[in-house]
Structure 1
Amino acid sequence: MASFSSQIQAPFADTVYTDELLEGLGSRYSGGDPADLLFDLGAWSAGLESFLNVYDRSISDSDRIRSVTKDRLSEFRLTHSALARIADLLRLARKLDRESAVRLMRAGPKDLDEQSSAIEECLSLNSALIKSSGLGYAEWKAWRSLLADRLRSGPISIKLENASYSLGAVSLPPELRNVSGNAELAFADRSAIAGVTSRLGRILRTLKIVGRMLDEDEPLKPSILLFCSIFEQTRGLIDHIDISLSRFPNEESELFALLDGASYMASLELKKAYFQELTGIVGLRPAPSVYARVETAHALLNDSFQQILTGFAKIIRPGVETAELFPEFSRKLTESLTLRTGLAAVLKAVQAAESSPETKSIEHLRGVLGIFLGENLGFLFYKDREAFERFCEEVHAVDEKKELVPILHRFAAYAETLFRQVNMRAVLINHPFEIPS
């Protein structure tokens, strides 16, 4: 049986931004909303600052001794790719009409020119550094400090930060865009909800950039910078919620429980995404491995934050569902339900073949696997597809009962674990399902 993965082009996860790629990225904004360009500029600028600030403390190599002694060329290349992208976005921003730039981020042509010059200088220095040899922790620490100072002192640094929050809030579902002006809610409740939703709006819009990179097979290692920014923003969100809870007048209210649950869920998903999926990703070389980790981390964060926002939207419009607020959620839900049903059928067939490895049950299992490979495999995370295919190939290749039984035993354990992982997806939180006996 031909391997399914051999029929799919491997995802592109290199870190090099060529002139052709940058030109293609620029065409994305031509004729579009200037807000998209300026938000992306703010997101990548914030991502670079966060990468310099938290990378070594959040998703660098888990081996702390190795993180100090290893070569740091990969980190220098990442800052170079980020600076190249920011320089290109600034070039496009300078072509915007003055009214758009002033209206969206209160920056004039002079501010953009000065920022562009500063970024170009840093890019030139970074280009020279990556041609050097022996770039270790000391060199990385010095470059990190120098670049962070230059970015913070930029003429539009604070303006981009403020614009990112306002543009993130604009991208929220209609129910949550103007919470502050909702007279039906108490002032304290409005303030508490708006403080959370505005932050989540920016986070979700940043995650949308990562999703676009996955869909379009862009270089994926630079997305680590965006994830560093999301890490800082989420930690800030959790701290903000915890402070709000400490001052909350009524601990029995629905909003208190909602805020408490949001803080817990955000903390949990943050640990899953960063400490299980993203730690050490900069040192990975195989493109499929990078793609698999980025895809999983993106899904964990995006789906859980959409669920959190839905909880706040229900206070304003009771009965609203996540799929109504986020159209892509409906597609993910349908795919996950289909995948879970298919996995349940596979698990049942594998267990039946394991308990009675006769010709009839084996042929039935092979038929079920064929259907799953053709209809459901693409709904698995990329990281799970190869292992599943390998089991399928072994089941099709082995005919001897003595050799097949151990394979079926391992396959049954794997399929049950995979089923449980799929069942834990955030999109399925309101759709319980039991493993068939």
Structure 2
Amino acid sequence: MEASPAHVVIVGGGFAGLWAARALRSAQVRITLVDRGNHHLFQPLLYQVATAGLSAPDIAAPLRQILRKQKNVQVQLATVSRIDVAAREVELDHAEGVRRLRYDYLLLASGATHAYFGNAHWARHAPGLKTLDDALDLRRKLLLAFERAEAATDPAERDAWLSFAIIGGGPTGVELAGTLAEIARHTLGGEFRNIDPARARVRLVEAGPRVLSSFPEDLSDRARTQLEKLGVEVQTGAPVEDITEAGYRRGGEFVTARTVVWAAGVAASPLGQCLGVPLDRAGRVRVRPDLSIPGHPEVFVAGDLAAIARPDGRPVPGVAPAAKQMGRHVADTIRARLDGRRGDGAPFRYRDFGNLATIGRMAAVVDLGRLRFSGMLAWWFWLVAHLFFLIGFRNRSVVLLNWSVAYWTHQRAARIILGGDDRSDTK
């Protein structure tokens, strides 16, 4: 009797999970890909949905559509509530009830969420940006702020609605701040009667000494200069002490800002706690060199949930290229075990292709190791790179069209407020 193929369960349809599934397309395995959403999201462009440059379908694609030609994959829309590594079972919460899924190999790639450094109550007043729902909620919040300012009769209240703060000077914070400043100064010009959107104040708040701390210092300095040319007020060197519906406190001073956005930290998915293995301070799983967990070589962790260091001791960064490489490595390891090859247990080696961040129209920074540049050339490099890595011809075409229109007209394609005029946004 022919043995049934090994069952590989992948939790998470992000970069690590999807790239692992695709790398196993010709393997003699049965794959179940589990995700709470039905789509794969290109997170590097999520901020463009939040700032109305792109629509949600431009940077996302249904998982079933992506994998429709891969016959050894089944996609399940469900939430993983528990993992029993001893029994090799994953517990799923479906709409119709709880189901247990047995596996021969498990890849946990459920990503990360927002981290407020022990101040979870700040989340109500300073939303973060990790999912499409986050992006759509944030887009609504940003656009409504200008509407509230237009309707305000009190000058102080009007100024409060035209005051924006982005907390966190990493790539997401820099990209949000630069784009928001462009919207205020260019996109919205001439559209309001009671306010001048160009008077909006956009502050970028970073606890450390400089923005884009993962970049070389010279590029970080250039990024700050480019942000300030766009009109962004960059505040560094002190952390935020409190955030309320009215603004934020920093260095003992309260700054009025009715719209505050959190881009300062991430925490690993809580599913890592189910594995019963050591975690780092951010909740990431301390994996073995081959990305498996101690005591269970059949269980792998990849992407933002995995904590692993490079040979020089620096951590592997939580970026899309690293997650893709991890996913492919796990797939290669599983194939090696199934084939009985010596590749079983080969250590993961991260290949760093560089670091990119866009700041605004015709402004970006690029670090490719020995080659570093900024400004217009960096912006074009960033644009081409992101178009190349988008999934699907349709997405690339639509994004290129939207960016072309935005370049020549300063208009943004998705500036629609959904959900009505909810007064809860003023509270």
TM-score of the superposition, structure 1-length normalised? 0.23
Identify, as 1 or 2, the structure richer in helix. 1
Q: Which has the greater radius of gyration?
A: 1
